[in-house]
């Protein structure tokens, strides 16, 4: 409400509409029940004369605002507060941090800002008497009464009585925005009973113990200490309050780093790799399927004789080590065992590389790998860390927390969705609480006698992995394998991760440790592994110079069709399984003729080499006019000539023991 330029008391258009609505305003104006000043728009406002209102309208206005003539006197303070809202106070309260590290609730932030703004208005009018006279035309004493009425009417969080209001304003001038914060509202009686840093440290230390004692036990222990030290005792409710609200202070000791990082460390959201083979995750999983394990143990009977006793365990669970591509959670490889070992992990990597070769036609290596920290040394120089780095071709780092690996999600719902199909499904895990996480225990026990033997575990796990590989990716209509292959072919980066068979065997192959050294022979490379005989072909270029040379064999246990042969010096080649050539023309198959021709060409080239060694040596001796046979037959042999003759007649250096003999014979002839 305000006075117009004719000093007539008027309602503003918003005030009239708030009382009667816009339709009533239009009808009243149309019927001539209102005297209206101003047309609105372009900065002007519409004012409605209060005294000319019908009696029922006046009554409604008085009911809403009280005496309009008193109201209009108070209105300048409210208008001043609306025009001079304290933005600094708002920012202060918005960013204020309570002792418990929480922010002020929004309700109190706005409440305190409003109170500060009205105190600013009161200070303004009590210090600027000209403004007070201009806007209120009253004395100071009357203003304090009006200020109290406005505070009550506008529900401002300030005392309305003059004395207390002046005290609050004095405190505001001294302490600033802090004077309004009621810290007691944001604490708890349970917390208040633990007074002082020392008492809180003792209580939190009891809470953080990794034994995870109950609240009742902790309260009893704390109270014993409190009584001895003149402190106030607490209830288990106080312990619960501190445990819940200060959990971030004890979680590291109480639950470990992984839980602490997961619950309170900042989570960095990451986008999935844009193409296959950019990032790989690996981890082990004790498979939630039961198998039957039968063992025989030696026990003594009543007579003290050792006999075999059959022991059946229907609840044996295998360990599965899995490697997935984080691009779309595609399982690249896996290995199955009784426990996690470095060799099991290597086997999973070999399986992954073999599967990639099966899909793409070539073995590939991934660009980056993240695993857990099992068997990983701090300097990343140990056996497993070195293996993961793949000769420097792969970036490797261990995960600090499990949640940072995509594979953890694969081991959750996607895996268990497949496992639930099997009658030997054991359930999620022993800590799972969901009603659907574990099967009916009674039904499971009835089926236990029919669980598959542990020897079937690799076959069952292969089915599980293949089911996951061919599961449909939501929203695409494609299987996980189809999506992986499509994205592989579309990515130039993925294709650059291809490696040769030689490099694959060098990186992930197993070194053969035979009892007798393996040598290159004219019959090929022959050795025995796990009581099985193997024979591999040798390229013709290594004949005849490298025949009988000792070599190492590097092999892939899952693919014995090719092995890496090396002496770690000049010999290095991938040998293929030896293929017998048909002796009868009628047995020839496609490609046999070409292979036989190639073998014959090798034999011809080797024969030519053997002949050339003799012919070239004879030609060199002839140029030097040396006849080795004549030297041998001569009756007088000098040491120097004898050595030269021996070298000419043999294709290798004279052994030391023969050289000593020749020296002795030469000395005899020298004395004759």
pLDDT digits (tens, 9 = 90+) for 325-377: 999 999 999 999 999 999 999 999 999 999 999 999 999 999 999 998 888 88
Domain boundary among 521, 552, 579: 579
pLDDT at 191: 57
Sign of the four-CA dihedral 302, 304, 307, 313: positive
Residues 125 and 38 in one domain: no
Q: What is the pLDDT confidence band of residue 133, given thresholds at 50, 70 and 90?
A: confident
Domain that holds residue 319: 279-492
CA separation for the pair 145, 151 (Å, rounded): 10
In a domain, 635, yes or no: no
Residue 15 has what pLDDT?
A: 86
Single out the residue of 343, 406, 348 nearest to residue 372, CA to CA: 406
Instruction: Give the pLDDT of residue 633.
Output: 72
Strand boundaries in 88-225, DSSP class E: none
- Pairwise pLDDT comparison (399 vs 214), residue with the higher score: 214
Identify whether residues 180 and 216 lie together within a single domain.
no
User: Do residues 181 and 326 share a domain?
Assistant: no
DSSP class of 370: E
Can you read off the two tokens belonging to residue 260? Answer: 């602490």
C-alpha distances in Å from residue 29, one per residue of 32, 35, 39, 44, 391: 5, 8, 12, 18, 91
Instruction: Determine if the peptide bond prior to 188 is cis (ω within 30°).
Output: no
**HSE-CB of 243 using CA atoms within 13 angstroms:** 19
Higher-confidence residue of 145 and 278: namely 278
Among candidate residues 581, 599, 455, 617, the one with its CA nearest the CA of residue 540: 599
Residues 601-628 have pLDDT tens digits of 999 999 999 999 999 998 998 898 888 7
**336 in the same domain as 205:** no
Dihedral sign for Cα atoms in the order 148, 152, 154, 159: positive
Contact 333, 410 (CB under 8 A): no
Return the ∠ at Cα 62 (arms to 60 and 68), rounded to 5°.
Answer: 135
If pLDDT is split at 50, 70 and 90, which confidence band does 635 have? very low
Examine the domain organization and report whether 176 and 313 are in the same domain. Answer: no
**H or E element in which residue 471 lies:** none
Residue holding tokens 């209830």? 235
Q: Is residue 462 part of a domain?
A: yes
Instruction: Give the CATH number, domain containing residue 43.
Output: 1.10.10.10
Percentage with pLDDT > 70 across the chain: 88
Give domain status of residue 290, yes or no.
Answer: yes
pLDDT in tens, 245-259: 899 999 999 988 878
């000593």: which residue's tokens?
A: 660
Per-residue pLDDT, averaged over 394-406, amounts to 76
The predicted-structure confidence for 218-247, as pLDDT tens digits, reads as follows 999 999 999 999 999 998 888 998 899 899
Is the pTM above the cut of 0.95?
no
Residue 671: pLDDT above 70? no
| Distance between CA atoms of residues 296 and 309, nearest Å | 5
Residue 584: C-alpha distances to residues 202, 530, 589, 598, 603 (Å): 92, 33, 11, 17, 20
Domain end marker among 20, 49, 66? 66
Confirm whether 471 is domain-assigned. yes
Percent of the chain with pLDDT over 90: 53
pLDDT (tens digit, 9 = 90+) per residue, 191-200?
557 888 999 9
Instruction: Report d(CA 184, CA 197) in Å as an integer.
Output: 18
Q: Which residues contact 604 (CB under 8 A, 6 or more apart)?
A: none
472 and 375: one domain? yes
Q: What is the mean pLDDT of the chain?
A: 87
Question: Are 178 and 215 members of one domain?
Answer: no
- Asked if residue 344 and residue 294 are part of one domain, the reply reads yes
Q: Is the pLDDT assigned to residue 659 strictly greater than 70?
A: no
Domain boundary (185, 204, 236) is at 185
pLDDT for the residue 495: 95
Asked whether residue 393 falls in the same domain as residue 434, the answer is: yes
Of the given ranges (55-69, 104-118, 320-334, 517-531), which has the lowest mean pLDDT?
55-69
* CATH number, domain containing residue 223: 1.10.10
Report residue 137 as tokens.
């035309």
Q: Extract the tokens encoding 220.
A: 């009893």
Query: What local confidence, expressed as pLDDT, does residue 666 receive?
Result: 56
User: What is the count of structural domains for the chain?
Assistant: 5
d(CA 364, CA 390): 12
> At 382, which CATH number?
3.30.420.10
More confident residue, 422 or 303: 422
User: Are 422 and 339 part of one and the same domain?
Assistant: yes
Task: Say yes or no to pLDDT of 289 above 70.
Answer: yes
> Is 641's pLDDT higher than 70?
no
Q: Answer whether residue 672 shows pLDDT above 50.
A: no
In a domain, 618, yes or no: no
pLDDT at residue 655 in the model: 55
Whether pLDDT at 211 is above 80? yes
Do 399 and 355 belong to one domain?
A: yes
430 against 43, higher pLDDT? 43
Q: Are residues 22 and 110 in the same domain?
A: no
For residue 437, tell me if it sits in a domain. yes
The string of pLDDT tens digits covering residues 108-119 is 999 999 999 999
Residue 624 maps to a domain = no
Q: Is residue 333 part of a domain?
A: yes
């Amino acid at each position: 409400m305000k006075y117009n330029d004719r000093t007539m008391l008027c309602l503003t258009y918003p005030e009239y509409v708030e009382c009667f609505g816009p339709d009533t305003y239009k009808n009243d104006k149309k019927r001539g029940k209102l005297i209206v000043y101003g047309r609105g728009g372009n900065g002007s406002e519409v004012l409605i004369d209060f005294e000319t209102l019908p009696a029922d309208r006046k009554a409604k206005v008085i009911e809403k605002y009280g005496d309009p003539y008193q109201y209009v006197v108070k209105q300048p303070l409210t208008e001043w507060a609306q025009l001079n809202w304290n933005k600094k106070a708002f920012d202060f309260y918005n960013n204020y941090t309570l002792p418990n590290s929480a922010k002020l609730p929004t309700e109190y932030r706005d409440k305190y800002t409003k109170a500060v703004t009205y105190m600013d208005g009161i200070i303004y009018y009590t210090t600027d008497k000209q403004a007070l006279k201009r806007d209120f035309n009253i004395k100071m004493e009357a203003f304090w009464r009006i200020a109290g009425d406005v505070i009550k009417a506008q529900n401002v969080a300030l005392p309305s009585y003059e004395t207390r209001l002046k005290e609050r304003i004095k405190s505001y001038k001294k302490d600033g925005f802090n004077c309004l914060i009621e810290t007691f509202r944001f604490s708890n009686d349970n917390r208040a009973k633990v007074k002082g840093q020392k008492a809180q440290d003792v209580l939190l230390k009891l809470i953080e113990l990794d034994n995870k004692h109950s609240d009742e036990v902790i309260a009893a222990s704390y109270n014993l200490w409190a009584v001895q030290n003149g402190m106030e005792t607490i209830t288990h409710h106080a312990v619960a309050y501190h445990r819940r609200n200060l959990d971030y202070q004890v979680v590291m000791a109480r639950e470990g780093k992984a839980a602490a990082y997961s619950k309170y460390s900042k989570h960095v959201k990451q986008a999935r790799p844009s193409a296959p083979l950019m990032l790989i995750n690996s981890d082990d999983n004790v498979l939630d399927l039961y198998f039957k394990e039968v063992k025989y143990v030696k026990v003594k009977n009543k007579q003290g004789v050792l006999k075999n006793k059959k022991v059946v365990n229907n609840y044996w669970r295998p360990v599965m080590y899995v490697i997935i591509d984080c691009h779309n959670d595609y399982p690249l490889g896996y290995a199955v065992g009784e426990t996690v070992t470095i060799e099991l992990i290597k086997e999973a990597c070999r399986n992954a590389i073999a599967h990639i070769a099966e899909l793409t036609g070539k073995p590939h290596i991934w660009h980056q790998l993240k695993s857990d920290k099992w068997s990983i040394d701090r300097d990343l120089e140990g056996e497993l860390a070195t293996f993961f780095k793949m000769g420097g071709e792969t970036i490797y780092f261990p995960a600090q927390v499990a949640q940072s690996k995509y594979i953890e999600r694969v081991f959750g719902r996607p895996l268990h969705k497949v496992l639930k199909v099997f009658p030997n499904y054991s359930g999620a895990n022993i800590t799972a609480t969901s009603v659907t996480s574990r099967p009916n225990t009674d039904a499971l026990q009835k089926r236990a006698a029919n669980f598959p033997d542990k020897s079937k575990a690799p076959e069952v796990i292969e089915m599980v992995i293949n089911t996951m590989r061919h599961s449909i990716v939501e929203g695409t209509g494609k299987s996980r394998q189809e999506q992986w292959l499509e994205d592989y072919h579309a990515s130039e980066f993925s294709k650059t991760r291809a490696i040769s068979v030689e490099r694959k065997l060098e990186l992930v192959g197993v070194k053969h440790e035979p009892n007798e050294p393996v040598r290159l022979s004219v019959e090929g490379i022959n050795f025995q592994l796990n009581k099985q005989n193997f024979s591999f072909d040798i390229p013709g270029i290594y004949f005849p110079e490298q025949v009988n040379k000792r070599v190492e064999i590097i092999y892939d246990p899952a693919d014995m069709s090719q092995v890496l042969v090396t002496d770690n010096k000049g010999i290095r080649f991938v040998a293929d399984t030896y293929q017998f050539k048909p002796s009868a023309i009628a047995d020839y198959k496609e490609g046999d003729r070409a292979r036989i021709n190639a073998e014959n060409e090798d034999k011809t080239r080797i024969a030519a080499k053997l002949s050339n060694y003799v012919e070239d040596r004879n030609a060199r001796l002839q140029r030097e006019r040396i006849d080795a046979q004549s030297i041998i037959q001569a009756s007088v042999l000098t040491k120097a000539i004898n050595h030269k003759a021996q070298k000419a007649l043999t294709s290798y250096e004279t052994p030391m023991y023969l050289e000593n003999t020749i020296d002795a014979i030469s000395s005899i002839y020298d004395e004759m």
